[in-house]
Structure formats: C-alpha cells, structure tokens
Chains A and B, each alone.
Chain A
C-alpha cells in the first residue's frame, strides 16, 4: 500500500477555535483521514516536538498552522514545521493577519505584564510574582520559559507561507476544498488566499437592501439597537466590515443577525484592511460640517478595534509606536 500524504496541524497564539473547525468537518473528516495521515496534531494526538525533529525534511506534505507568533517557542516550532513541510498553510485570521492577539500590539510588553500580573482588578498577587524566562532554585535546577515578544506577528512575518485559509475560524468547507486541492496537485500560485477574491456584500443575503447612498446620520453599537433581520446593517447605522472584507464565509454572522467583523481579511486589491474600511465607512457619513462629522463619527468609539480587529500585525503600521525615542516602548 502506497504511503498516504502526511499532514500536520499546529497552534501558536490562538484560542482553539481553529482546532475545533477541523473537528467541525464532521463526517467529512473521514474522507480527509482516508486520504491523508495526520502525522502531528498536539491537540488530538500525543506526539512531541522530538517526533517532528526526527522526521525527514519536507516529509510532511502540508502543515496547517493557526495562531499568531507571540513567543520564542512558537517561532521555533513554526521554523521546525517549515523545514519538515513541503507546503505551509496559514490557517485562520491569527496566522494570516495577526488576528485578535495582535490587538495587543497597541500595548508594550511591559504594559501587558503590568496589567495581567498586577493592575487588573481580578488579580490577587500579593507577592508580586511574575514569570521569569529563567529561574534557578538554588539546588541546581534551572527552569526556562519561552521569551514573550514585544510584538505579535502574523505567520508570514516569521516563516515562508505557501497558502492562506482565512477566517475566525476557517469554515470546514474551505478546509476540505484546500485539502482536496493539495491532494489533486492542482495548486493555485504561491501566496494565494484560498477563498473568493470579492467582498462579502457579493454573497450577502441583504444585498438588495443596501441603498446606493448610505448617508449614515448615526452609528449604533450592537447593544444599542435591535437590528432589522432583513435590512443591510450599514443602512441601519451598524458598522459592518463586509464592504471591505473577503467573502467565502457564506455570510455566517449576517445569518446570525450580526454585522461582519472582518475576520476573512481584505481582498487582494487592499493593502491595509482597516484603512480601507475606514475610508468606505467615513465617506458615507451624512454631514458636510466638520463638527457634525465628528459628532457622527464619535458613534465609533474604538476605530482601531473595529476596523483592525483581526489585522493589526499585518497592517501598514503593524503596532503602536512611541514617538521620539526611536523605539517601540516607553
């Protein structure tokens, strides 16, 4: 019997939702498993780093890597998987664009540690204990922890990536199509995002209710309004990222009566997802007077968190900077 192609799944800074989306293949997972061997998948199979190290270079057909890169351990693992794999697929928004974890790029490492171990009201830490990268217990034992980087990165800012599967998480349909495409050998050009290259409005069930001119006089946040289940969210004053976000999710959030938050990232014509959505939304504000414009736009209290929810790491600016000191953190 010929050997089946080997596949690996790995997670970095992520929530586990991408792993779950593999399980969401449901009975289709049997099709996938009949075609490939899952050679490494820490969530489901008890294998260690040394097992991967023992594999021949490029002996894995494909590694699906989800999560952004936040620590030195994650960097080592993805570099290892890159060496062992013929193809690497960035799986999900965190891996593709930095994702939710890269919202932390609006803060320095110092600020994050201060909040998580001291300042947050839910923290009880009277001894002021903080994790150290190296700890000697005085009896000859040394404990080491990975380095926590200053900046969260998308996968392709650390290793070479062949293809991208977008989404938070990617849908089982896209995963299945990707696996079948890889097995058939009919591969798109390197760097392709394995989803349609058109904005979500194109497959939105509410498309017909989107007026030509939106003329937004007030922005609402989701808790301030009961959205009409049929009408375009933008026409209701709810910021919907669908206008600047790639389709392919089959409008899942829209079907749940929630506006798009942008997890599929931009189409290939856009270089900065957040800036493009900002441009599209702000242009539609129904005012010409500076003060009135600012008043309406105050209805978007967190523009970076709204427009760049999944993509600060891969945005043009990549992180918050500190003016004057030449560096990134105060």
Chain B
C-alpha cells in the first residue's frame, strides 16, 4: 500500500477543447513556456464532448485529477457545448463526492486560445493541490476489496 506522500507526482488527465484551451496549451509549448509535466492532454472538439464516463475512466485507470478546459461562456464554437459541460460537471462533482473522491480532483476552467498563461497557472495550481491531497490510487483500491474478499 502506497502511503499518501507529499512528494508524489500527480497525474492529470486534461480534456481540452480544440478551439480554445488546446490552442492555449499549444501556444505555451511553441513559446517555450514552462508548466509542470503532470498533465496528459486529450484534445476533444468541444468541452461539450466530455462524457462523464471519460472522467470516471480516467480516475479508474489511475489519474489523480481531471482538468476540463473549455471556451468562455458565450464563446462556444458550437454555441452551447460548454454550457452542457458545465451542467454535467456540476452534478458529476456531487456524484464523485458520494463515491468518496475529493471533488477538488475534478476541475473545470474556461481558457481561451490567447490565455496560455492562465492555463500554465491552472496546471501549476492543480498539480500543487493534488500533491497535497496525495495519490488517489483508484486502480489499487478497486482491486483491493476483491483481493480481501476472495482470500476470505
């Protein structure tokens, strides 16, 4: 059992909209700006494409946090995808809490294509916050009650 340590490197699965946050991440890279290497970016066409199953799957497969990046309200390329995402996010946070997962592990940010600095700041903040929370270790936790019961 890995004890919660403050020294661990959190893994963040980032689900970024193609039209805003993904471009922001790209431009930070092109400008050679630094942000923590904690994030694995998945490009989606819209934050409205974020199915809550993606978030649960990320946690179940070992992510310590999930970051969703979408266009500012009013700016969605498909007019209301980001609002759909906001509604699901609100309910999903409650569901995660009931399953015992700290809701701070899921974060939604509106980051436009020109807000590379904001993106870097959000990733830094979230990395620190997840480091303080300690590893989630869900794959092991899902497997462990199995092992306990099957040994009995």
* A positions within 8 Å CB-CB of B: 72, 106, 147, 149-151, 153, 157, 270-272, 274-276, 278-279, 281-283, 285, 287-288, 290, 293-294, 297, 300, 303-304, 307, 315-328
| B83 on the A face (CB < 8 A) | yes
Q: A326 to nearest B CB, angstroms? A: 4
Q: Quick one: CB contact mask for B1-21 with A, threshold 8 Å, 1 for yes?
A: 111100000000000000000
Q: A298 to nearest B CB, angstroms? A: 9
A-B contact pairs, 12 of them (CB 8 A): A106-B98, A147-B149, A272-B56, A275-B56, A276-B52, A293-B90, A303-B91, A319-B145, A320-B100, A321-B138, A326-B144, A327-B141
* B positions within 8 Å CB-CB of A: 1-4, 51-53, 55-57, 59-60, 73, 80, 83-84, 86-88, 90-92, 94-95, 98-102, 133-134, 136-138, 140-142, 144-146, 148-149, 152
Indicate if the CB atoms of A271 and B145 lie closer than 8 Å.
no
Indicate if the CB atoms of B56 and A316 lie closer than 8 Å.
yes
List of A residues within 8 angstroms of B53 by Cβ = 270-272, 275-276, 279, 316
Indicate if the CB atoms of B57 and A316 lie closer than 8 Å.
yes
List of A residues within 8 angstroms of B100 by Cβ = 320-323
List of B residues within 8 angstroms of A282 by Cβ = 84, 87-88, 90-92
In the complex formed, the residue of A with least CB distance to B59 is A317
Q: How far is B145's CA from A300's CA once the two chains are assembled, in angstroms? A: 30
Q: B22 to nearest A CB, angstroms? A: 21
The 8 closest A-B pairs by CB, nearest first: A326-B1, A275-B52, A149-B149, A151-B145, A316-B56, A321-B100, A320-B100, A282-B87
List of A residues within 8 angstroms of B60 by Cβ = 316-317
List of B residues within 8 angstroms of A327 by Cβ = 1, 141, 144
Contact of A150 among B1, B92, B148 (CB under 8 A): B148
Indicate if the CB atoms of B86 and A278 lie closer than 8 Å.
no
Q: How far is B138's CA from A287's CA once the two chains are assembled, in angstroms? A: 33
List of B residues within 8 angstroms of A300 by Cβ = 91
Contact of B133 among A275, A318, A319, A323 (CB under 8 A): A323
Q: How far is B138's CA from A200's CA once the two chains are assembled, in angstroms? A: 33
Indicate if the CB atoms of B149 and A278 lie closer than 8 Å.
no
Indicate if the CB atoms of B95 and A288 lie closer than 8 Å.
no
Contact of B95 among A72, A151, A304, A325 (CB under 8 A): A304
In the complex formed, the residue of A with least CB distance to B89 is A282
Indicate if the CB atoms of B101 and A321 lie closer than 8 Å.
yes
Indicate if the CB atoms of A278 and B92 lie closer than 8 Å.
yes
Contact of A324 among B86, B134, B144, B145 (CB under 8 A): B134
Q: How far is B88's CA from A317's CA once the two chains are assembled, in angstroms? A: 18
List of A residues within 8 angstroms of B144 by Cβ = 326-328
A283-B98 contact given A149-B152, A323-B136, CB 8 Å threshold: no
Indicate if the CB atoms of B91 and A318 lie closer than 8 Å.
no
Q: How far is B80's CA from A288's CA once the two chains are assembled, in angstroms? A: 9
In the complex formed, the residue of A with least CB distance to B83 is A288
In the complex formed, the residue of B with least CB distance to A305 is B98
Residue of A157, A319, A321 most packed against chain B (CB within 10 A): A321
List of A residues within 8 angstroms of B2 by Cβ = 326
**Other than the known A282-B88, A294-B90, A317-B142, what 15 A-B pairs have Cβ atoms closer than 8 Å?**
A149-B145, A149-B148, A149-B149, A271-B53, A274-B95, A278-B88, A278-B91, A297-B90, A300-B91, A304-B99, A316-B53, A319-B145, A323-B102, A326-B3, A326-B137
Residue of A283, A297, A300 most packed against chain B (CB within 10 A): A283
Q: A282 to nearest B CB, angstroms? A: 4
Q: B102 to nearest A CB, angstroms? A: 6
Q: B13 to nearest A CB, angstroms? A: 14
In the complex formed, the residue of A with least CB distance to B99 is A317
Contact of B98 among A270, A290, A320 (CB under 8 A): A320
List of A residues within 8 angstroms of B149 by Cβ = 147, 149-151, 153
Q: How far is B137's CA from A272's CA once the two chains are assembled, in angstroms? A: 20
Indicate if the CB atoms of B4 and A324 lie closer than 8 Å.
yes
Q: How far is B60's CA from A303's CA once the two chains are assembled, in angstroms? A: 19
List of B residues within 8 angstroms of A320 by Cβ = 98-100
Q: How far is B100's CA from A92's CA once the two chains are assembled, in angstroms? A: 28
A303-B141 contact given A278-B52, A278-B91, A326-B3, CB 8 Å threshold: no
